[in-house]
Structures are given as C-alpha cells and as structure tokens.
A = this chain, B = another copy of it.
Amino acid sequence: MKMRVLAKDIKDYAGKEISLSGWIHRVRELGGVNFIILRDRSGMVQLVTNDEIDFNLESVVTATGDVHENEKAPGGYEIQLKNIEMLAPAAGDLPFPVNQDPANIGLENILDNRSISLRNPKIRSIFKLQADLMRYFGEYLRGEDFTEIKSSKLVGGATEGGTNLFRVEYFDTYVNLAQSPQVYKQTMVSSGLERVFEISHAYRAEKHETSRHINEYVSLDVEMGFIQDEMDLIELERNLIKYMFTRVKENNQKELEDWGATVPDPELCDKIPVIPHEQAKKIVSERIGRRVFEINPEAEVVICEWAMENYGIDLVFINEFPRKKRPFYTYPKGLKTMSFDLVFRGLEITTGGRRINEYKMFQEALPKFGLTEESLGAYATIFKYGCPPHGGFAIGLERLTQKILGLHNVKEASLFPRDRKRVTP
C-alpha cells in the first residue's frame, strides 16, 4: 500500500500519484463529472471522477489518484481519482447529517451519538481546543516549577462535608468518589513538593439540572506553598490565564473561527479587577436596581458586564467571601476569608483561597462548622509536622472551554457528560 498522505499536505505532491484515507463527507454528481469531498483528521480534499459513486456518506475509504492544481477546488488542489477502496462501509441511516451546520441538531442527539457528532468539524473543534487548554495549563505551571500529581479518586473513611458524594461499593466496605483533590494537594504542599497541579476527574452528586452543571468534570487543580494570602493565588491565576489566552490566540484561530468566538485580549488580563464580595454585591445591586444577597448566576452575568464596561475585559476576581459562605478550612481574615472566585463571561470558573495551615487554628475552626478532628480522618495530620502557609484553586475545564467558545451548555464541552439521567454512552 502507498504511504498515506493527509488532506492538508496534498499541495506538496502536485503532479504525483498519492493515496488518502478518510470519510466520505459529501458527494456531488454533476452528470459525467462527479465530486467526492474526503475528510480526514487534517481537513478535506476534493476527489474527481467520471465514474458513478455508490458509497454511502461517512463510509471510510482509501482513495488513490493524481494531485492536480485547480483554483476552484477547496485548498487549490484536487485528486483525479484512479482507484477507491472501501475500508469500512457506513449504513445509510445516519442519525443526522455530518456535513451540515450542527446548530439544528439537538444536544441530546449530539451526546447520544458521539461517534457521529464529532465528525462534524465544528463540534470536533471544541475538543481540539480543550486538549490544547490542558496542554497550556501544564506548560505554564511546569515553567513555574509546579509538579504534576495524580491523587486517588476513591476516598475512604470520613470526609469533609459528606453531602453530594457518590458512594462506591469497595470490596467489603464503601468509599466515596473524590469531590476534589484538595486534601491531597494540601498533603503534597506539606510534603515539600510545595507546588503541584493535577488534571483529573472530580465528582459532585448534585441534583442540579442546569446548563452549567455536570456531575463528573475535569478539574484543573493548583496548590502552592509559601503564600501570604489569596492575592498571591490571584496573581498566579492571572498570569496562568494570560498565558493560556495568549496560546489560544496564537494557536487556535481555527477553533475560534468555527464558533465565531474570540478569546479575551491577553494584555488586558493585567487589568482584571479584584473586587471584595461585599463590594461586588453593591455593584450588582446598583446595576439591577434591587438588593442582592449573594453572587448568584444572575449576579455573575451582571458583574462581568460591569467589568467589561470599566476594564474592557469580562473577567472578575471576587475575594473576601464571608466565612459562612466558604468551607471550614478557608483561612480567615476577620469575619471574611482569604478566598476568591474568578467569574468569566458570566460564569464562575474558579474557586480558590488560602487554607488554614496552623494545626491549632484548624482545631479551633472545626466546632464552628460542626466538625470533629476524628470525622476528618487523616486530614489534620498534615498540619502537625510543619505545613507552610499555602492555598490553591481549581478551574473547571469544561466551563472554561464553554465560555471561550460561547457554547450554550457545559455538556457540549464534555465528550461523555454525566448528569442525573445521562450515564451512557
């Protein structure tokens, strides 16, 4: 068999005979001359033949022919077909067309048929961008001396909170799926790694059915030692997303164009405002003309509009959340906490903060939240033997992807999303 050439490379073979393999994306029969658009992972190529074409769309073939220049062909070159070999036929009853704008395909249909829906180049773009976001995240943090970790998702014994956990039958006992790797990230800081990140699944047994929730998501987690307060973390995340947006701008124009999307100007990341929670509520209250008591989804939209008008960028850090709104392990700052959220285009994509690292303060915080040291298993032990001041944050990968591309529903940014009803495919 001839070596396979990718669609994007055919111009390098002008005048030569080559073989291409891929899916039959489109067929046009113009009486006498017929055209096939062949699609592979790199793009599309036009095949020209005088023969009849009796393959179903989406069949997988290997096509052999000569590369001709033709300014009317997509990309300026086409293949004069000499031979076409069937590798894997497609049935004729595609659940929906692959070669049309996916706007009219319902979300359930897209998710039920991932092996078909992802063939649409626009839908595939979501996951090309997502793969790159994971890469940029790791690139930046490695450059800042962070070590990648993989922590267990099966958490035994008692755990913080205890609500919204999925329970797993584990031999003769039960464990829970980890809601976040936070305890493990903290253990790593305490163990002297100092700076760690993790890209793994996290599980929340929340009963929400909204466009912003999934029950299994990919968490881009960061934890860092030797910080003063949440401003060090905000600074880190500011530089991290600035880097990620820069890389998207350089490297993902095609994906952005497919969705008519733009990424925020990386230079403006230096201007993302940091607004205390109390002040954020005031800003929102003034804009909508009634008092709000928390930064709920509606308020997230409003605060981003405000940031866009005042700073030219629709991202806002909100810090100093009141103690009762944050978990017990959040480091206090009077009645407030050294904590923050990052809201991007109207959606919270990050929660973070400094954690309590002093054993005594940790012990004192527990009863205020109705907790005991015993109920937390080994958590407390990481503070006993020298745990530096530290904190961290996590970015929801699907939400970040969703907001960059302007997708309506976070599920569009998950290959196989899980919600209350969806556990397949």
Contact = CB atoms under 8 A, between A and B. Distances in A.
Interface string A384-399: 1111110000000100
A177 B175 CA distance: 12
Interface string A199-221: 11101010100000001101000
Interface of A: 1, 4, 21-24, 39-42, 56, 58-60, 87-91, 94, 112-119, 124, 127-128, 130-131, 134-135, 138, 142, 145, 147-157, 166-171, 173, 175, 177, 183-184, 187-188, 190-195, 199-201, 203, 205, 207, 215-216, 218, 226, 228, 357-358, 377-378, 381-389, 397, 415-418, 420, 423-425
A142 B135 contact: yes
B192 A39 contact: yes
Nearest to A196: B131
A386 B41 contact: no
- Which among A21, A135, A148, A397 has the highest number of chain B CB atoms within 10 Å? A148
Nearest to A425: B378
13 contacts: A42-B145, A60-B388, A90-B385, A91-B384, A131-B147, A134-B148, A138-B138, A150-B218, A154-B203, A167-B169, A200-B201, A378-B425, A381-B425
A118 B387 CA distance: 13
A150 B195 contact: no
Nearest to A195: B41
- Which among A60, A128, A194 has the highest number of chain B CB atoms within 10 Å? A60
A150 B415 contact: yes
A153 B357 contact: no
Shortest beta-carbon contacts, A-B, top 4: A156-B423, A118-B191, A90-B386, A378-B425
A228 to B, nearest CB: 8
B171 A23 contact: no
Contacts of A171: 205, 207, 420
A424 B378 contact: yes
B150 A377 contact: no
Contacts of A94: 385
B423 A154 contact: yes
A146 to B, nearest CB: 9
A260 to B, nearest CB: 22
A328 B397 CA distance: 35
Contacts of A88: 357-358, 383, 386-389
A382 B424 contact: no
- Which among A40, A145, A151, A226 has the highest number of chain B CB atoms within 10 Å? A226
A52 B157 CA distance: 43
A352 to B, nearest CB: 20
Contacts of A145: 41-42
A423 B170 contact: yes
A191 B124 contact: yes
Nearest to A173: B423
A297 to B, nearest CB: 23
